[in-house]
Structure 1
């Protein structure tokens, strides 16, 4: 399985258009690399790339009809409900299951009833290589469900909005490869020379750039 990080910043990208914090100013001056909003793509055959975006649920929640009209112009595609019981198998031999990890509904909805399925994480398993990826760009913290989700994983791409949240998800002794994504615009992790970035590296946490690829 090949994983491509399409974006690694929080909503609004980096620098954020309406933010004047030190990291955003540095990015505008060309001192730090810019980043787009978090997203990833996975492929099991280096041909069919499947986007993994934790915010997508079903057509009823995302307005997929509009998305379909746009995507249809470029390539054939097929919709899968991420919460299908038992998951589903994608081309290239990837098995994907979605797991609820939070109940925070999008702010743009007129009625935001509590629903534990609003925030999901993906577990992607490669039937050929045995590689397992957990993609969880939004986390409220560590709990038994997250521990179960991470069991046996080779790599976890975790919420780095607040450093302590993602750090708490895994103990330093774990052998799981840890990558932070969805970095908030004021995050010190953007700067390779910052103390926070150095501490993350020492703890075995990677902060990769947009476009980074790795194989599991």
Structure 2
């Protein structure tokens, strides 16, 4: 099984177009050793030919051009993407669907909560009905059960509800439901290898222990280093946890949490432009390295058959 990181940044990408924080300004003038990143998305394949797209970021066309495997060119109109899984209804995970409007009907797997958000508060699906149309495939997070995707032979997917908030435009923004945000356990049926993908991991919950402990690789929320990161910079009045992200630092942060688990390869994805771990020479990045935690980057290929 191959996991291709199409984009590794949080909403806005890196550097963010209107941001002059230390990271963004340093990226532009070369004073910070780092690399640019597009907005978070991955693609998964069992055979390297047929790919399931997880989220469709606003940068999806750039990501497809940068990854030829997604455009095999077998016909006049063609794509390697056989289906789309949405983990939530956030703008940075769904706006890219508009860029796929020229193709065949989009087969999209998402929860009823995400479907509601994308047909009401932010009616992406309604707009697409005038173009390629959407073929919605319901995913039930309240009672998780595995599902398969036609065309993606050899893969099995299990939705896992995560504590979070629906987007600001959601009809139930202040009334959370299981299914507003999910993680997904991705399994290679032949090898038994498992990857747990949860870029919106907001808090540890008892039911998540088995997924973190048994997976061969985890791709988890890397948005913020500290809980008050945006507040200290004067960019927001909300903490990381307020907006559904578990920060890396602190006794109850992501680094401490992942330290409990020995088996999985540990990778952070969905990294905000303000996070000091983007600076490859920062003490925060060194702390991640000491903890055995990697940082996802655009174009990163994770092969679950590769033990290195």
Which TM class, normalised by the smaller chain length? 0.7 to 0.9
Task: Please give the alpha-carbon distance, in whole angstroms, between the structure 2 residues aligned to 1:78 and 1:155.
Answer: 30
Task: Please give the alpha-carbon distance, in whole angstroms, between the structure 2 residues aligned to 1:18 and 1:46.
Answer: 37
Q: In the comparison of the two structures, how many residue pairs are matched?
A: 212
The one-character-per-residue Cα deviations of 1:98-144 (angstroms, maximum 9, x if unpaired) are 11111311012254122132111010000012110000101122221
DSSP-derived class of the 1:121 partner: strand
The one-character-per-residue Cα deviations of 1:8-33 (angstroms, maximum 9, x if unpaired) are 11111111122210001122235531
| Worse-matched range after superposition: 164-173 or 19-28 | 164-173
Q: 1:69 to 1:145 in 2, by over 3 A?
A: farther
Relative contact order, higher structure (CA 8 A, sep 6+)? 1
Superposition pairs for residues 119-130 of structure 1, below 5 Å? Answer: 119-130=181-192
The one-character-per-residue Cα deviations of 1:41-77 (angstroms, maximum 9, x if unpaired) are 101111111012322535333233445666x49xxx9
Contact 1:154 1:177 in 2 (8 A): yes
TM-score (norm 2): 0.63
- Residue of structure 1 equivalent to 2:116: 60
- Residue of structure 2 equivalent to 1:100: 161
DSSP-derived class of the 2:201 partner: coil
Q: CA RMSD in A?
A: 2.2
- For structure 2, list consecutive stretches of 5 or more residues without a partner in the other structure: 56-86, 90-109, 119-123, 224-246
Contact 1:134 1:150 in 2 (8 A): yes
- 1:189 paired with 2:277, answer yes
- For structure 1, list consecutive stretches of 5 or more residues without a partner in the other structure: none
DSSP-derived class of the 1:102 partner: coil
- Residue of structure 1 equivalent to 2:140: 83
The structure 2 residue matched to 1:174, chosen from 236, 250, 262, is 262
Contact 2:163 2:181 in 1 (8 A): yes
TM-score (norm 1): 0.88
Q: 1:206 to 1:68 in 2, by over 3 A?
A: farther
Q: 1:114 to 1:206 in 2, by over 3 A?
A: same
| Worse-matched range after superposition: 139-148 or 50-59 | 50-59
Contact 1:94 1:126 in 2 (8 A): yes
Task: Please give the alpha-carbon distance, in whole angstroms, between the structure 2 residues aligned to 1:69 and 1:128.
Answer: 40
Q: 1:214 to 1:111 in 2, by over 3 A?
A: closer
Task: Please give the alpha-carbon distance, in whole angstroms, between the structure 2 residues aligned to 1:98 and 1:106.
Answer: 19
Task: Please give the alpha-carbon distance, in whole angstroms, between the structure 2 residues aligned to 1:68 and 1:82.
Answer: 20
DSSP-derived class of the 1:89 partner: coil
Contact 2:117 2:169 in 1 (8 A): no
The one-character-per-residue Cα deviations of 1:144-195 (angstroms, maximum 9, x if unpaired) are 1221222310000010112233324322551210000111111111111111
Greater Cα radius of gyration, structure 1 or 2: 2
Contact 1:103 1:117 in 2 (8 A): no
Task: Please give the alpha-carbon distance, in whole angstroms, between the structure 2 residues aligned to 1:127 and 1:184.
Answer: 33
